[in-house]
Amino acid sequence: MSDNRAVKEALGKQGAYGEDIDIDLYETGSRDVDQIDDLESSEYRKYMENVGVVADEINRSGTLMFIDNGMSHCHAQEQEGLEMMSVREALEKHDGLKDYFWTAVDPTKDKYTATSYLDDADGYFIRVKAGHHVKNPVQTCMLINQNKSAQKLHNIIIVEDGASLEMITGCSTAHHAGDSIHVGVSEIFVGDNANLTFSMIHSWGKQTGVRPRTVCNVGKNSNYTNNYVILNPVGSLQSFPVANLGEGSSATYNTMCIAHEGSEIDTGGLVNLNGKGARSEIMSRSISMGGKMCARGRLVANAPQVKAHLECRSIILKDGGSTLAVPELEAHVADVEMTHEAAVGKIARDQIEYLMSRGLDEDQAISMIVRGFLSGSINGLPPALQKELDEAIEQANLGD
């Protein structure tokens, strides 16, 4: 637990990256929210489905939904070893979650973590007990439904030794609530010989400010995959998830984004390879359609026999924005193998014309190449998401 004074001071601390957001301009979102029993008949259904959260819950092990700052739905299928509830409930039930609560993320990191801490933000708690494999994905949905509000959440995910979990998280704003901010702290714990795939699809409003703060601590011989997709316009988004890897573990980050005109996106991530033989791959594919795009990636090797690769590729489809790729490799021991690749530019003309020579018009050719470029970033994407992704790419109107 941090000392409150230090956290209060951190309220004035800007984030390391991304433009500064004045949190005080937004009213903290309400905790007293609609309780939804039946997602299918819910008025929020379309927002959920836009971000990969299926209302009928078919092929899902459970669904947890937050509207603004309160939980509005929590339902798990009969599934041994899976626990789902709000963090607030979990704190009571599990003795303050003392090994987890605010142990991975430092509340004094910046103003966004500090405000979540001081507001005692609630969020989802998902735990898979040792040795259990959750068959279907668990889905969570975070919706902002109040304009001029700040959604503040604090989530905790625990995948214990020998367990596995796949999560799909969709975040969205209701049409009328576009001028708002989302601050989501997520603390993730993956034990030894465990697996977690965490896929996040975001679809915000044109003015929304988004500042997730995620840290994942991974034990030995485990796999952590983090997929992140944002294809719709957003105001300002900055995200830099951190993974700390133990011996023999691996982390894969796949990021896919489109920076539309007026959007500012700063994404990427840091992987600390702390254990011997840890591996990581950071892949980022982005498109600038006149927006500001920054793709970061940082790999830090602190142990021998580490292998890591970083790839940032960006296509610029429209002038007016900017694109920055920042790949960083840092090693503190000799016996490592780290590489990176970065490429920024337009689509090669000969590729477009080749498809045109088969009868596609220019827009169709470009959108086919862009679609391939984007979906090429996510290997091991949950099949359940492929359809949603294809639809989202379709809707992104890449041809114009």
Partner 1 sequence: MTEMLKIVDLHAEAGEREILKGVNLTVKEGETAVLFGPNGSGKSTLLATIMGYSTCKVTQGEILFKGQDITEMTVDERAKLGIGMMMQRPPNIFGVRLGDLIKATSENGEAILGEAPNFKMQNFLDREINVGFSGGEIKRSELLQLTAQKPEFILLDEPESGVDLENIDLIGNKVRDLLYDQRKGCGGNIQRHVSSLVITHTGQILDYIGADCAYVMKEGRIRCSGRPMDLLKEIKENGYGECGACQIIEL
**Range in contact with partner 1 (rule: CB under 8 A) among 24-32, 130-138, 208-216, 353-361:** 353-361
Closest CB 355 distance from partner 1, rounded Å: 7
Q: Compute φ and ψ for 349, nearest 5 degrees.
A: -60, -40
Neighbours of 332 (CB within 10 A): 11
Compute how many other C-beta atoms are within 10 angstroms of the C-beta atom of residue 349: 8
Q: Which is nearer to partner 1, 159 or 352 (CB)?
A: 352
Nearest distance from residue 312's CB to partner 1, in Å?
15
Q: Does residue 225 sit in helix, strand or coil?
A: strand
* Binding to partner 1, residues 356-375 (CB under 8 A): 356-362, 364-365, 368-369, 371-375
Residue 370 Ramachandran class (φ > 0 left, ψ -120 to 50 alpha, else beta): alpha
Amino acid sitting at position 48: M
DSSP letters spanning 238-256: E---EEEE-TT-EEEEEEE
Judge contact between 329 and 302, C-beta under 8 A. no
Residue closer to partner 1 (CB basis): 147 or 364:
364
Nearest CB to partner 1, comparing residues 104 and 369 = 369
State in angstroms the smallest separation of the CB of 324 from partner 1. Answer: 22
Q: How far is the CB of 353 from partner 1 (least distance, A)?
A: 5
Q: Does 386 bind partner 1 (CB under 8 A)?
A: no
For the chain, the residue count is: 400
User: Per CB under 8 A, does 99 bind partner 1?
Assistant: no
Closest approach of partner 1 to the CB of residue 369, in Å: 6
What is the DSSP code (8-state) at residue 24?
G
Number of residues that bind partner 1 (CB under 8 A): 24
In whole angstroms, give the CA distance from residue 342 to residue 268. 13
What would the x/- binding string for partner 1 be over residues 305 to 344, using CB under 8 A? ----------------------------------------
Beta bridge partners of 253: 226, 282
Instruction: Report, in Å, the least distance between residue 378 CB and partner 1.
Output: 12
User: Would you say 304 and 336 are in contact if contact means Cβ atoms under 8 Å apart?
Assistant: yes
Nearer CB in complex with partner 1: 220/313: 313
Binding footprint of partner 1 on the chain (CB under 8 A): 348-351, 353-362, 364-365, 368-369, 371-376
